[in-house]
A = this chain, B = another copy of it.
Amino acid sequence: MTTPRVLVLDDDPTPDLSRLDGRAEVFRSDGAGLAARLPDADVLLVWDFTNDAVRRAWPGGGRRPGWVHTASAGVDRLLPELAGSDVVITNARGVFDQPIAEYVTGLVLAMAKDFAGTWEFQRSRTWRHRETMRVAGTRAVVVGSGPIGRAIGRALSALGAEVELVGRTERSADAEFGRVHAGDALPALLPSADWVVCAAPLTPATDRLFDAAAFARTKPGACFVNVGRGRHVVLADLVAALRSGHLRAAALDVFEEEPLGGDSPLWDVPGLWVSPHMSGDTLGWRRDLSEQFCDNFDRWAAGEPLSNVVDKKLGYVPAH
């Protein structure tokens, strides 16, 4: 067997692939050069998962790698173009679960306790006692029933919140949450939720899921958090719901265009917290992502089944 060639759609900092030394020829490309280099690759590692270059290069004229791994949980930068070919797609399922769960739990607590208000008062050297919310006994709806959504649900449940998970299809005997709701149950769940969290994959079914109609159904004073993808939310509708006071607060960690430009009107919408797509990126995340790819490379080289194989029709790794 010839030495396999692993092409990396690169980003700074680059992945540590020293585990492949002597076993693979690793070469790198930016987005602009990707299409020209693809015919020489057996494997493509999409390290810069914010880049649309793979979609643009597919199917293209020449040979294509048989396996594409993306260092992200979402595969929305690969689909639908790659769905039509027989390429195997794997993703970073697992790496981000606990970090994102912690991040979302921190946001929920910060909103419940009005930390933003406290910090504003601190800036103005003002002692202003307020009564804040107790999270225990509140209700959360988490859209996304994969490992990230489940980790969020677990963390909020541990604080005493009642959590409803929403997935694609209903599961009536979930071992941990009792029940996972189907997507079409969401409108009925929104009116009683204090916290609405989006941690779903971006698929045609969840594209623009949070629009004016959805926000109109949310409980007055509810808070919204998006750690999924920017396209899950109709931004103008979210901003309107915040400006009217119907939503008390919202946090967006993801945007259609990243990075968000300095001239975006989102930065100073009252009650809106903007963060730079970092909810899952704890210290060591790049090492974890490199290791996860190398583990899968070992399987691939040995002819074993790959982990985290994405169902290209669904747009995510289905539960077992």
CB-CB < 8 A to A118: which residues of B? Answer: 273-276, 278
Most buried by B among A102, A133, A276: A102
Instruction: Return A196 CB to nearest CB of chain B, in Å.
Output: 19
B113 touches A115 (CB 8 A): no
* Copies of the polypeptide in the assembly: 2
* Given A134-B99, A283-B133, CB of A110 within 8 Å of CB of B116: no
Contact of A115 among B115, B132, B160 (CB under 8 A): B115
Q: Interface readout for A122-138 with B: 1 if CB under 8 Å, 0 if not?
A: 10011111111111100
The answer to whether A260 has its CB under 8 Å from any CB of chain B is yes
B262 touches A133 (CB 8 A): no
Q: How far is the CA of A134 from the CA of B109 in the complex (A)?
A: 16
CB-CB < 8 A to A267: which residues of B? Answer: 122, 125
Q: How far is the CA of A276 from the CA of B267 in the complex (A)?
A: 27
Instruction: Return A282 CB to nearest CB of chain B, in Å.
Output: 4
The answer to whether A155 has its CB under 8 Å from any CB of chain B is yes
Instruction: Return A116 CB to nearest CB of chain B, in Å.
Output: 7
Q: How far is the CA of A122 from the CA of B116 in the complex (A)?
A: 12
A134 touches B283 (CB 8 A): yes
Q: How far is the CA of A125 from the CA of B133 in the complex (A)?
A: 29
Instruction: Return A275 CB to nearest CB of chain B, in Å.
Output: 5
Closest to A128 in B: B276
Interface hits, A237-271 → B, CB 8 Å: 258-260, 262-264, 267-268
The answer to whether A177 has its CB under 8 Å from any CB of chain B is no
A134 touches B273 (CB 8 A): no
Most buried by B among A106, A130, A158: A106
Contact of A113 among B102, B130, B131 (CB under 8 A): B102
List 8 tightest A-B contacts by C-beta distance, closest first.
A106-B109, A158-B158, A127-B259, A134-B282, A125-B267, A125-B262, A127-B276, A129-B276
